[in-house]
Every structure is written in C-alpha cells, then in structure tokens.
Amino acid sequence: MSSAAPTLSLPGDPPGGRRAVRVWGIGVAVYFVAIIFRTSLGVAGLDAADRFDVNASALSTFSILQLLVYAGMQIPVGLMVDRLGTKRVLTIGAVLFTLGQLGFALSPSYGMALASRALLGCGDAMTFISVLRLGARWFPARRGPMIGQVAALFGMAGNLVSTLFIARALHGFGWTTTFVGSSLAGVVVLVLLLLFLKDHPEGHEPPPAEHAGATYVRKQIAASWREPGTRLGMWVHFTTQFPGMVFLLLWGMPFLVEAQGLNRGTAGELLTLVVLSNMVVGLVYGQVIARHHAARAPLALGTVAMTALVWACAIFYPGDHAPMWLLITLCVVLGACGPASMIGFDFGRPANPPERQGTASGIVNMGGFIASMTTLFAVGVLLDATGDDYRVAFSSVFVLEAIGVVQILRLYVRATHRERDHHVVSRVEAVHVPA
C-alpha cells in the first residue's frame, strides 16, 4: 500500500466548504460541552470524596459507572445514528447530559450522584460518533483523518475548560453553583443544534436503508465486526486512549497531590499541560496521517511504547517523589494518548461503507472506554488494598497495554491487505463514474 494518502474524490463525496464547517462546528460544540461535563469530575474528585464521604473505590465508581454506560451505549448509538441521523441523536444526547450535569450539582446523596453520572454518560455517548458521522456526510473522505483529529482537539479544549475554570470555580463559588452554572452550556448548544444543524448537504442524501428490526441490527453489527479494520481500530483505541483518560478523568489529581506532594494549583497546571499537549499532538498526527496512511500503526505503537516508558519512570522513580521535569514529561506524553486513539477510527472508517459508519465507529469507540473503565476500577481497588500505594495501583496500566499491543500486531496485516483491496475497488468505480 502506498504511504501517501489518496487524494482522489470518490463517487458521492460531499463538497465540504464553509457551510460544511459551520454545520459541523455546531456538532463539535455539542461534543465540546459533553467533554466539559465528562471531565469535570477529574478536577472535583477530592471535593466529591469530601462531599459524599467516600473512599477511593467508591470515588472511582463515579467514573466507572459513567464509562460503563458510555461503552455499553456505543453500538446502540452507532445503530441509532445510522438509522435516525445525526441531528436526532445529538438532540437526545444534549438533553441527557445536561440533565445529568444538573442532577450531579443538586444531588444530596452518593446514590443520586451516581445516577446523575450514569445519565450524563448516556448523553455523552451519543456525541462523538454523531460528530464523526456528521463530518463524513459534509466533508470529502480524504479529509476524514484531519476532521477526526480536529473534532478531538475541540473535545480536549472542553477538558481545558474543566482544568482551568471548573477547578477554580469550585473553590470560588462552591459545588452547587459551579455545576448548575456549567449545565447552562448544555442548554445553549441544544438550542443551536435544533435551529441550525442538518444531517447532510442537499444532493448528498444517504441511500434509503432497509431496517428490519432485530435482523437489521444483527446484520449491521456482524458485518462491521467481520471487517478486520474495525477490530484493529477497536484495539488501537483500546491500547492508546486509556492512560491519558484515567489520568485526566480521575486519578491524575490525587496522584500528583497525594503521591507526589504537589499542591492542587501545581497539579492543576500539570493536568492542563496534558490537555495542551493533546491539542498540539492532535494537529500533528492529523496532518501526518492525512498525507501518509502507512504512518498510522507506527504512530499508535510508538505512542504506546513512549507512554509505558515514561509512566514506568514516573511511578518507579527512586525516592519519595519524582522530579518536576519527569512529571512534566509524563504529562506531555500522556497528551499524545488521545490523538493516537483517533487512529483507530482511521482504520475502521475505510473498512466499512457509509451505511455502516456509525455502527463501526461505535465498535471502535468501545475499546478505549472499556480499557479506561477497567483501569479506573483496578486503580481504586488496588489503592484501597495497598494503603494508597500508587506504584502498585498504577502498574495495572502495563497489563492492558500488553494485551492491546498483541491484538494490534495480530490484526494489522489482515486489516491493511483488506483496506488495500477496498481502495483498488474504489479507484476503479471512480474512474467509471459517468460525467
């Protein structure tokens, strides 16, 4: 397979342009707000532990339940997007995650707070796949890698809002005011998408699909799963995403404060560095992959190797605390995890036809969140079992990385051969399309 990405416009490719950017931007804004809500617990973990009087395992349950709902919803959401369209699914998602954030603000008990995070996770699950589908409907296929990375970049900007503003607001205004105020952002994006978002440009309507209930669902899932590129994409997402997500979503702040002896202000700045690194690396990875598809696997595996190396150096550093330069390096490297996980979609997308894009993206997207959920649980249990020994607890990362790397290497050759065959067929069809 050539290392250069194809620049050929395929039959039915949408034109892109300014209107595409405006419409797609509304979808990205919904995803941006969903990420703010998702990651707000990452800077409020210690506050939540005090508010609900819970230990490490119970605290991790917030994020585990949220990610469990998120991961479990991925295939159903993919099917919903393929069947109902982007606008309807994003609308449902925005309503749910806004209600979840508001409920979390007002919850008087641990149980109600858990239910609110589950509702938030359900709404959050409907956003990213919808945004990927929206990009595929409004932009040419050759723009796919860059569009995906830019969408993820805006998502990380939502994370930046959490680390910079939510954390400060918690200390300045308190729990209820901060979370109620942030939920208003969900109302704003809901109004925007209802008024201005369209599923696809005129003249590029998707072909009508036959939906036959359970039979259709089984066929969509089975056909997507049979493609090696879908499974490879899932394992790439599984292996690359979770170290950065676990660090940002919950355990980064406690690790930096309790294990490394930093104050909360400095720890917050390091979490911000993870987000900034993610945004920069995302642009670089998107440009590289758009020009050289053969770089996908080396970038993914290289990110995994570098993450494992720096993670090990930080947690096993001799002495009580790792030096600041090493913690900074760790945060910069963790910033590459999100962009590397997007490479999974670049394996899954060309392996499936347009009518299965949502389903395939759902399968891919499950990978990283299953890994994150597993690691969040393992870290919480191990911290309680070992008396807050972060070296033991954070070592669970290496187990999942090893499993993922084995699966990536097993599937890579089959998936790339299959993709090359699909690309040859697409070129032939493009050549024979009548003017």
DSSP labels, 290-347: HHBGGGHHHHHHHHHHHHHHHHHHHHT-SSSS--HHHHHHHHHHHTTHHHHHHHHHHH
96 contacts: CB under 8 Å, gap ≥ 6: 119, 120, 122, 123, 126
- Asked if residues 124 and 38 have their Cβ atoms less than 8 Å apart, the reply is yes
How many Cβ atoms are within 10 Å of 150's Cβ, its own excluded? 19
Q: What is the pLDDT of residue 64?
A: 80
Tokens at residue 173, please?
């205004």
Q: Which two structure tokens, joined as six digits, stand for 79?
A: 């099917």
Interhelix angle 128-138/18-52, rounded to 10 degrees, is: 170
CA distance 406 to 209: 37
Q: What does the DSSP 8-state code read for residue 17?
A: S
CB 71 within 8 A of CB 362: no
Residue 434's pLDDT is what?
39
User: What are the beta bridge partners of residue 292?
Assistant: 4
Residue 4, classed as helix, strand or coil, is strand
What pLDDT does residue 148 have?
Answer: 78
Whether residue 362 contacts residue 70, with contact meaning beta carbons closer than 8 Å, is answered with: no
What is the gyration radius of the CA atoms in the chain, in angstroms? 21
CB-based contacts of 252, cutoff 8 Å, min separation 6:
42, 246, 267, 270, 271, 274
The residue among 249, 230, 198 whose CA lies nearest residue 91 is 198
Do residues 244 and 337 touch, judged by C-beta distance below 8 A? yes
- What's the length of the chain? 435
d(CA 414, CA 420): 10
Long-range contacts of 15-18, Cβ-Cβ distance < 8 Å, separation of 24 or more: 15/140, 15/201, 16/138, 16/139, 16/140, 16/143
Each of the 435 residues of the chain gets a pLDDT tens digit; together they read 333 344 444 445 667 678 888 989 999 999 999 999 988 877 787 788 888 888 877 887 887 887 788 888 888 888 888 888 899 999 999 999 999 999 999 998 999 999 999 999 899 999 988 998 888 888 887 776 778 778 888 887 887 888 778 878 888 888 899 999 999 999 999 999 999 998 877 766 665 555 556 677 788 889 899 999 999 999 999 999 999 989 987 889 889 999 999 998 899 889 889 988 988 998 898 888 888 888 999 999 999 999 999 999 999 999 889 999 999 999 999 999 999 999 998 898 888 887 788 888 889 988 998 999 899 889 988 998 999 899 999 999 999 999 999 999 999 988 888 877 655 444 434 334 433
DSSP 160: H
Mean pLDDT, rounded, of the chain: 85
pLDDT for the residue 66: 79
Q: What is the largest CA-CA distance in the chain?
A: 71
Measured distance CA(65)–CA(61) in Å, rounded? 6
Which whole-number Å values give the CA distances from 264 to 71, 177, 267, 288, 405, in the listed order?
A: 30, 21, 5, 36, 34
Give the integer Cα–Cα distance in Å for 359 and 341: 17
Tokens at 362, concatenated: 């759902």
Residue 103: the pLDDT is 93
| Residues 44, 49: Cα–Cα separation, whole Å | 9
